[in-house]
């Protein structure tokens, strides 16, 4: 039968059913969009009022909201995680065909696990190792001696340069480039001299990498992405960076060479971190903020210029070029006022 | 014969010839670079003086500038658009060979229009539909059940994930990724739990997408790009974003999840828009500006830190960390001066 | 025998040996990581103290540091460049097999030098010319009439659009797109009209281009990258830009249309340059800085908002929207204090 009953969901995922446990759901949806055959969820009691108007056939709620509706419902102590699990059950990934597509090009010395899937036009170089149940999409190019763990999924057109090591359950989206040369040059006379980039990229388990993100190989030592790091699209990670476990980074962020990011950090979109800095664990960095010094203390940091109507922005921004002299004028005034106050007034 | 005479151009594109309509032109060029066999154009009367020194064999002018030269010329009420049309006539795109290249890999159940062109190493998955006269370049990967309208042109190495829908006359440049997973995770204990991204990307007609731009699929509902949207290179569009018709976005912009951008907006390079915001129609956003709140009113908005010589910047920028206390000092001074003024001076 | 002796290195690369010249080294490493079979280097006397704890078997030093250790050592007047050369000797690039892989698709009219290497799944269009010893990686797509000089190395999945010209010794990393259409549209009524992009990209000798960087073709004239320019990853270079010789640009930079960058410039990560600007030679631009006017004078320029703890940032940033009125208040105070000072105080 299609979908799952609430009883079946609870049997697999835990939680507690209130109301009719035989209610079947075939898809998950938002409170506004859900229909009678669908299950929805409430992750914040603030929006509890929306339950009344939802046509969802069932709900995932926290204990605090358990009585806010009489619809069939599953009570979970983490409704958002529960929603993710229900969605994964209802929306399994398409199964990739096991084996090597005849239009893939695989070197004789590559070791492809018998349960792996290698798509058409993928190219696997000599000495590469592809783990059990891993999927290498169309047009991927896996360099010499690359090692990819089990259950990894490389979407079409991922490139991994030679000798990089990727962990289990990696998800790499299309256009990702892992292990290209870092940006390293010496000056000799009037021109640049390339510094060979002889380190690798080493990626832990359970990492996800968004479309067109690039992670450069190390100059001498390795670039390291620890377990459970989540990288959004179009991120640039330079050579010899280390990113601590469980850190999540939003799109378009740039991290310069040899920066070391702690564990459990969250970095907003288009932010930047300069080279050779150290960022402590549990640091949050706002979107668009450039971090120019090491951060030793957990907490939230920001550097955003507040936007305004262009004419107001223009009027205000011009003073930023004179802020120092404005402060000097303020100081001079303070001195003068102090002097004036010292003079005996007429009574 | 090579090129077009002015009379031929006017017959096809409208406008009015002044001077010798049999003048032939074979290419279009700037006023400075044009030679006798080339046609040039003036889009702004401010630069009228440049006409005198141009060696262009013919010109495209507005009525206001009709008498500014005696060269053969075409008068148009929109010389810039006229230039675009003449250039398209003189520079037709290379015709892609109709049919499926023997080195393309096309699933048996894919529906490829007989007039479409599928290049070598392109891969088309099961159930995909490719419209009339559409061109799928080398190394493109078109996922399962993707629908692509007529007269679309996908340059080499575009990836479209499963179930996305692309309109007629789409131009997608190399490296574009459409429909990769949005960046969505729930926290469970000490690790991240992936939220399946089950929406699609739905793209209207007449859209152009620049090289290496990424558009993520929706989490639950779809990501939507309306008709005639123009996206430059290396833009990141997150899940569930909607971009209104006729909006143009310059390179390197990042738009966070569920933002809704109006119609006829123009967004400058490297700007950003935070998640869940709403931007009205006819809004202009300056380059490098982060929009952190919804914009309800048409107009121009900016948030750019003005650049300066590094030593001046350093001297001024340091005060930004103390602006609040500077304002406090200003307030204190105002109070003190008010008091001083209240005291009877000696006369 | 494995590696090189110091005497052999000096014979090839110049410099002077102090200590046992028969000492063999097989790899290069940092002072901290080097082992007895490895050579390390000191590029800054400031770190001289680290020599004592290094276990490197040999060192590259400047004359000023020649006596700072008794280990076997090579004295060079440019230790960093010397390190680069030693590393290149010890880490030769994998040799690509000469010839055209049977799974490459090469047009009959393409001219492939007999010493070039064309990898599996690469596609070379009609009229393209590939120079001696050049390597075209897997999945590269080389358009019609493209010319590529000798000793170029295109890593997998580089796309070069038709008619572009690339110089000798080019290194282009995976995902690079050269020659996609610039972002040019005319307004006609309520919609956009595409302006054909009929210029080329012309790239000099000794250029390196990082992963996923995009360089658009010119609108009418060409986009030009001069000799020895070094571009990091994810850079966007718009149509008709010119970048002067020996300029180095870090990751995620955006350069808008028709900007002209001088020679020997250095541009920091995620910086931006607006369209039609001119930047003099020997200009340095800090990371994250938007340049909104031409720079006529060599020197360093910056526009970075200083980061702070989020609560401090919030308290301070709010005043940026009122800076102009703050300056007005300061002026008013100055006038009032001047008046107060003019009044005769009581003595």
Q: What confidence tens digit (pLDDT) does each residue in B69-91 have? A: 999 999 999 999 999 999 999 99
Q: What is the 3-state secondary structure (H, E, C) of A25-43?
A: ECEECCCCCCCCCEEEECC
Query: Which among A180, A302, A318 has the least Cβ separation from residue C233?
Result: A180
Chains that touch C (3 or more CB pairs under 8 A): A, B
Domain ranges of chain A: 4-90, 99-301, 310-341
Average pLDDT, integer, range B19-25: 97
3-state helix, strand, coil in chain B (%, to 5): 20, 30, 55
Q: How far apart are CA B64 and CA A332, in angstroms?
A: 57
Task: Please check whether the two domains, B4-90 and B99-301, share a CATH topology.
Answer: no
Q: Tell me, yes or no, if C210 comes closer than 8 A to chain A by beta carbon.
A: yes
Q: Which chain B residue is nearest to residue A343, measuring alpha carbons?
A: B340
Q: How far apart are CA A325 and CA B323, in angstroms?
A: 14
CB A90 within 8 A of CB A75: no
Residue-level pLDDT at B23: 97
Query: Which among C33, C287, C340 has the least Cβ separation from residue A274?
Result: C287
Residue-level pLDDT at C22: 97
Query: Which among A157, A305, A337 has the least Cβ separation from residue C320?
Result: A305
Average pLDDT, chain A: 96
CB B309 within 8 A of CB B291: no
Residue-level pLDDT at C117: 98
Q: Which two tokens stand for residue C339?
A: 């008046």
pLDDT tens string A149-165: 999 999 999 999 999 99
Nearest chain B Cα distance for residue C112, angstroms: 19
> Which ipTM value was assigned to this complex?
0.96
Residue-level pLDDT at A347: 47
Task: Tell me: pLDDT of A343 over 80.
Answer: no
What band does A341 get if pLDDT is binned at 50, 70 and 90?
A: confident
Q: Tell me, yes or no, if A24 comes closer than 8 A to chain C by beta carbon.
A: no
Which residues of chain C lie closer than 8 angstroms to A318, CB-CB?
324
pLDDT tens string B277-297: 999 999 999 999 999 999 999
pLDDT tens string A281-324: 999 999 999 999 999 999 999 999 999 999 999 999 999 999 99
Task: Tell me: pLDDT of B344 over 80.
Answer: no
Exposed/middle/buried for B49, CB within 10 Å: 0-12, 13-18, 19+?
exposed
CB B146 within 8 A of CB B162: yes
Nearest chain C Cα distance for residue A300, angstroms: 5
Residue-level pLDDT at C344: 58
Residue-level pLDDT at C347: 47
Average pLDDT, chain B: 96
Which residues of chain C lie closer than 8 angstroms to A196, CB-CB?
84, 87-88, 91
Which residues of chain A lie closer than 8 angstroms to B284, CB-CB?
310
Catalytic residue among B151, B173, B239, B246: B239
Q: How far apart are CA B190 and CA B187, in angstroms?
A: 7
Q: How far apart are CA C119 and CA C26, in angstroms?
A: 30
Predicted confidence pLDDT, tens digits, chain C (347 residues): 689 999 999 999 999 999 999 999 999 999 999 999 999 999 888 989 899 999 999 999 999 999 999 999 999 999 999 999 999 999 998 889 999 999 999 999 999 999 999 999 999 999 999 999 999 999 999 999 999 999 999 999 999 999 999 999 999 999 999 999 999 999 999 999 999 999 999 999 999 999 999 999 999 999 999 999 999 999 999 999 999 999 999 999 999 999 999 999 999 999 999 999 999 999 999 999 999 999 999 999 999 999 999 999 999 999 999 999 999 999 999 999 999 988 755 54
Task: Tell me: pLDDT of B346 over 80.
Answer: no
Which residues of chain C lie closer than 8 angstroms to B269, CB-CB?
236, 254, 256, 272, 274
Average pLDDT, integer, range A220-246: 98
Backbone angles phi, psi at C46, to 5 degrees: -55, -30
Residue-level pLDDT at B345: 54
What band does B122 get if pLDDT is binned at 50, 70 and 90?
A: very high
Query: Which among A188, A326, A344 has the least Cβ separation from residue C327?
Result: A326
Which residues of chain C lie closer than 8 angstroms to A301, CB-CB?
307-310, 313
Closest by CA to A195, choosing from A186, A205, A187, is A186
Q: How far apart are CA B56 and CA B43, in angstroms?
A: 15
How many CB pairs below 8 A link A and B? Answer: 236
CATH-assigned architecture of domain C99-301: 3 Solenoid (2.160)
Q: Tell me, yes or no, if B52 comes closer than 8 A to chain C by beta carbon.
A: no
CATH-assigned architecture of domain C4-90: 3-Layer(aba) Sandwich (3.40)
Which residues of chain C lie closer than 8 angstroms to A159, CB-CB?
155-157, 174-175
Q: Which chain A residue is nearest to residue B138, measuring alpha carbons?
A: A139
What band does A1 get if pLDDT is binned at 50, 70 and 90?
A: low
- Indicate which of C78, C158, C320, C338 best probes the interface with A, i.e. most A CBs within 10 Å of its own CB: C320
């Amino acid at each position: 039968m299609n979908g799952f009953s609430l009883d079946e969901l609870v049997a697999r995922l835990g939680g507690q059913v209130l109301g009719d446990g035989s209610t079947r759901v075939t898809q998950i949806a938002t409170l506004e969009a859900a229909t009678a055959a669908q299950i929805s969820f409430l992750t914040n009691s603030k929006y509890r009022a929306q339950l009344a108007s939802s046509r969802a056939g069932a709900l995932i709620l926290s204990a605090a909201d358990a009585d806010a509706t009489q619809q069939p419902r599953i009570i979970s102590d983490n409704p958002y995680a529960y929603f993710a699990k229900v969605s994964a059950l209802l929306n399994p990934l398409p199964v990739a065909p096991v084996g090597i597509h005849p239009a893939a090009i695989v070197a004789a010395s590559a070791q492809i696990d018998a349960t792996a899937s290698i798509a058409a036009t993928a190219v696997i170089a000599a000495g590469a190792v592809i783990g059990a149940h891993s999927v290498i999409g169309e047009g991927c190019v896996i360099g010499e001696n690359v090692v990819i763990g089990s259950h990894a999924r490389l979407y079409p057109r991922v490139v991994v340069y030679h000798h990089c090591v990727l962990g289990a359950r990696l998800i790499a989206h299309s256009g990702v480039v892992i292990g290209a040369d870092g940006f390293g040059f010496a000056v000799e006379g009037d021109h640049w001299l390339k510094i060979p980039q002889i380190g690798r990229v080493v990626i832990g388990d359970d990492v996800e990498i968004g479309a067109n993100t690039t992670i450069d190989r190390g100059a001498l030592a390795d670039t390291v992405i620890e377990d459970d790091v989540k990288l959004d699209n179009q991120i640039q990670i330079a050579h010899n960076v280390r990113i601590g476990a469980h850190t999540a980074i939003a799109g378009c962020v740039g991290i310069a060479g040899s920066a070391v990011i702690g564990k459990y950090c969250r970095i907003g979109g288009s932010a930047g971190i300069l080279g050779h800095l150290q960022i402590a664990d549990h640091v949050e960095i706002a979107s668009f903020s450039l971090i120019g010094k090491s951060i030793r203390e957990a907490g939230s940091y920001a550097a955003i210029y507040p936007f305004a109507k262009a004419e107001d922005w223009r009027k205000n921004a011009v003073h930023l070029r004179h802020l120092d002299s404005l402060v000097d004028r303020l100081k001079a005034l303070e001195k003068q006022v102090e002097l004036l106050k010292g003079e005996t007034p007429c009574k």
